[in-house]
Structure 1
């Protein structure tokens, strides 16, 4: 059963106006592309650069411009506190896990990775993901546990995380797997805990365009994701979440100037948070 609160009425497609505190957060951490440096190399070639730490924690993962809003929104919405048990689903080499660890959270990054991700500037090994992740977290002096498995296959205890993040991940898998992943997040979330989701909304994919999916993924039925579990939607306007009866693609298209798109691809960000009841 899906319950709702008044906060969802704020509207949760990322808007074009970036709050000042988001700008300051991005400036502090170099999000989403890393700090500007002279003679910069492409992200995956920075591993072998001189003084690679100068790029900052967000300098090593190729990313989308929509993360300009997604990362600070997720951080301020979740309000991470020292000692919290945090799960970053699909965190790969995102600097977000570093920020959470710097905040004093106990961070687990669950990400199966893929060999092709290491094809630029990185020597492949049988366990390249773990080696590079270890180097990455050591460089920024943080302790993040990497679990190189799919979330639903990992051996985590129920109710074991205070915060669970999945930032621009669910659109990369098919609908059935996305639903299973959210079911698993709900199972792992501690009572009173929060799930923080950002989900890409592609404007060249149905119900907007002609494609069933593009090179990055597909438009997820968010209503189907959220209606399977008894969690409270604390933010997320049904009129701006794909799959809800209230969602009208034409209305979104007519309001396109209100939203924050990527500069290099026709995509918007849907924001949702889910709270697990205490009882």
Structure 2
């Protein structure tokens, strides 16, 4: 389904509690890339250290409540890097693994502190909020996790940043890693300046992923997701989406909608 513009009360309360999606409002605030070097950086909260999109206002709380994380669950956050969601999940009592291969993404904030590697910056971030999250700095499909070993798998606005073939391979891998009865939680950007809406094949952020092709390759149950609102499905009509545009939550800093999908793995 596509995220609607009316934000549920429980989402607003969740955002307020955790400072999502941009971090807490504080006096003399600095931009996110400079906050590690600020005095008392933890005052920004766990969502204050990664530049993000306005659409996360809905994506983060939707993902959390859809997943219903419980203490003891093993959770995989794909492409999580410095997202505050991993902190929230760890504080919920989950065993959290973050897979993010962006080793070349050197952050000046980390270098200033002497933390010039991906892992060191991440370790500093998680320790600031007193949580233990395992970071794996390689592509999901190259990882050596055991099959059926995760109760929940999140990929929040990740798949649109890679090409279609890689996105399909990533979802295939998620399906293999998900435990029976487990849930995959996906948010996928739908760009209004990219085909089938605009003229572009892709923009600076990514492309419009064929969601139908992603999901038709496995036997998981689509629990959340309206085929009429998911790109690539036969029921998806771009003109109908355009005619209903006032219903949907649109990012204020870029013309983009959010597609929401959850997939359940059968117990058998």
- Give ranges in structure 1 of 5+ residues lacking alignment: 1-11
**Which stretch of the first structure deviates more once superposed, 103-112 or 120-129?**
120-129
Contact 2:106 2:117 in 1 (8 A): no
Q: Matched residues in 1 for 2:105 and 2:80: separation?
A: 16
- Which structure has more relative contact order (CA 8 Å, sep 6+)? It is 1
Cα distance change, pair 199–51 in 1 and its aligned pair in 2 (3 A): same
Contact 2:67 2:183 in 1 (8 A): yes
- Give ranges in structure 2 of 5+ residues lacking alignment: none
Deviation at 1:122, TM superposition (A): 3.8
Q: Matched residues in 1 for 2:63 and 2:86: separation?
A: 12
Deviation at 1:113, TM superposition (A): 1.2
Contact 1:44 1:122 in 2 (8 A): no
Deviation at 1:126, TM superposition (A): 9.0
Deviation at 1:203, TM superposition (A): 0.2
Deviation at 1:119, TM superposition (A): 4.3
Cα distance change, pair 126–139 in 1 and its aligned pair in 2 (3 A): closer
Q: Matched residues in 2 for 1:121 and 1:128: separation?
A: 8
Partner of 1:239: 228
RMSD of aligned C-alpha atoms?
1.3
Cα distance change, pair 15–149 in 1 and its aligned pair in 2 (3 A): same
Deviation at 1:89, TM superposition (A): 0.2
Q: Matched residues in 2 for 1:245 and 1:44: separation?
A: 42
TM-score if structure 1 supplies the norm length? 0.94
Q: Matched residues in 2 for 1:233 and 1:80: separation?
A: 19
Contact 2:77 2:155 in 1 (8 A): yes
Contact 1:57 1:95 in 2 (8 A): yes
Contact 2:221 2:264 in 1 (8 A): yes
Deviation per CA, 1:219-267, whole angstroms, max 9, x where unpaired? Answer: 0000000000000000100000000011011111111100001011000
TM-score if structure 2 supplies the norm length? 0.98
Q: Matched residues in 1 for 2:206 and 2:113: separation?
A: 26
Contact 2:115 2:121 in 1 (8 A): no
Contact 1:45 1:121 in 2 (8 A): no
Q: Which consecutive aligned stretches of 4+ in structure 1 deviate over 3 angstroms post-superposition?
A: 119-127
Deviation at 1:115, TM superposition (A): 2.3
Task: Select 2:78's aligned residue among 79, 89, 107.
Answer: 89
Deviation per CA, 1:25-80, whole angstroms, max 9, x where unpaired? Answer: 00000000000011111101101000000000000000000000000000000000
Q: Matched residues in 2 for 1:210 and 1:94: separation?
A: 31
Q: Give the SS at the match of 1:36.
A: coil
